[in-house]
Amino acid sequence: MNRVTRLIVSVLIFCFVISGISAQQRSVAAVFPENAQLGTPLTIAVSAPSPDNLTASLVAINGERIGAVSRFFTLSPENPSIQVSITAVPSTAVPGAARIVVKNNSQEIARLPLNIEARSFVSEEIPLNESNTAIRTEPDPQKDRESQILWQILSAAGKEMYSTDAAFILPVESTRRTSFYGDRRVYLYSTGRRDTSIHAGVDFGVPIGTPVKASASGKVVLASPRIVTGNSIVIEHFPGVYSLYYHLDEIHVTEGVMVTIGDMIGLSGSTGLSTGPHLHWEIRAATENADPDAFLARNLLDKDAIISKINGLSAE
């Protein structure tokens, strides 16, 4: 090689290295959808150089964090650089402009705007008889243990994607809903006192013995009687995302088994704190109560959409 050729080759190598470094150092992120309501589940996708400990949090315009911090997992083995996280806008968040902050360890690597739309919720008063009042108000170490066990399950750092279903399905055929997601409840105790609560799921008024189906494929991570929620089933679908089925008359699955979307997992009932036969169906994402209906309408892990969006942003 003469001097000129050597120079050209050196410059080309230099440019190649520089472009490689800048491509490598750039983090890109996207959120689906960009306009959310209270309760809307969010899919956050990130492609970052050397991601080590990625987390996402929803932050209000005043800088306060809203709700839980969510972790990330690999979308698919074919695309190891794309990490996703699923969370939900809490039903108690203040509507308006917000943002999602993605961090790698403690360093902020991406910031995504999110508009949270207002939404109204039903207000309801629920009179409780003596035994239901006791379930809610009397201290009980067993009740505390059950809460701890459920919290450990819902906050665990899962890695497996058990569900590749396009969307979730309703757990019962009935469309008769007796309570809705986010209902602002006032419990009227038999003692004359009262307490407030927010309904975390959807209640279907169905007769005792109605077959209950798995809303999506997954692994049964809880199948046992509980004091407040009666006979209960929890299914893990993908990291941080669980469906919950309460007040069952019979449980037909055991912890650890895999279920397929639509499988019959038990029969509805009225066990635990219940004022009549119904199925309580709830979905948690990163420990937050998400609006279950949003899971019926949309595939939260739409690989084609996520990969093309991230690849498009990377190419910009």
Chain residues binding Zn ion by CB under 5 A are 203, 280
- CB of residue 275 vs Zn ion: minimum separation in angstroms? 10
Residue 219 vs 280, nearer CB to Zn ion:
280
User: Is the Cβ of residue 43 or residue 274 nearer to Zn ion in the bound state?
Assistant: 274
Are 230 and 244 in contact by the 8 Å Cβ rule? The answer is no
Burial zone of 232 (CB within 10 Å; 0-12 exposed, 13-18 middle, 19+ buried): buried
Query: Judged by CB, which is closer to Zn ion: 203, or 249?
Result: 203
Which residue minimizes CB distance to Zn ion? 280
SS3 212: strand
Scanning the structure block, which residue is given the tokens 């309460």? 246
Which token pair is 123? 């207000």
Judged by beta carbon, residue 24 or residue 275, the one nearer Zn ion is 275
The encoded tokens of residue 285 equal 């994402």
The distance of closest approach from Cβ of residue 179 to Zn ion in the complex, given in angstroms and rounded to an integer, is: 5
Quote the least distance from Cβ 201 to Zn ion, whole Å. Answer: 5
Q: Which is nearer to Zn ion, 217 or 229 (CB)?
A: 229
Whole-angstrom Cα distance, residue 74 to residue 41? Answer: 18
- Shortest Å, Cβ 272 to Zn ion: 10
**Residues 285, 240 contacting (CB under 8 angstroms):** yes
Alpha-carbon dihedral sign for residues 112, 25, 161, 309: positive
Min dist CB 206 to Zn ion, Å, is: 12
CB of 314 to Zn ion, least distance (A): 43
What token pair was written down for 245? 């089925």
User: Where do the H-state alpha helices sit in the chain?
Assistant: 3-25, 130-137, 141-154, 292-297, 303-315
Q: For residue 299, give the 3-state DSSP assignment.
A: coil
Q: Nearest Cα to 278, choosing from 245, 235, 240, 239?
A: 245
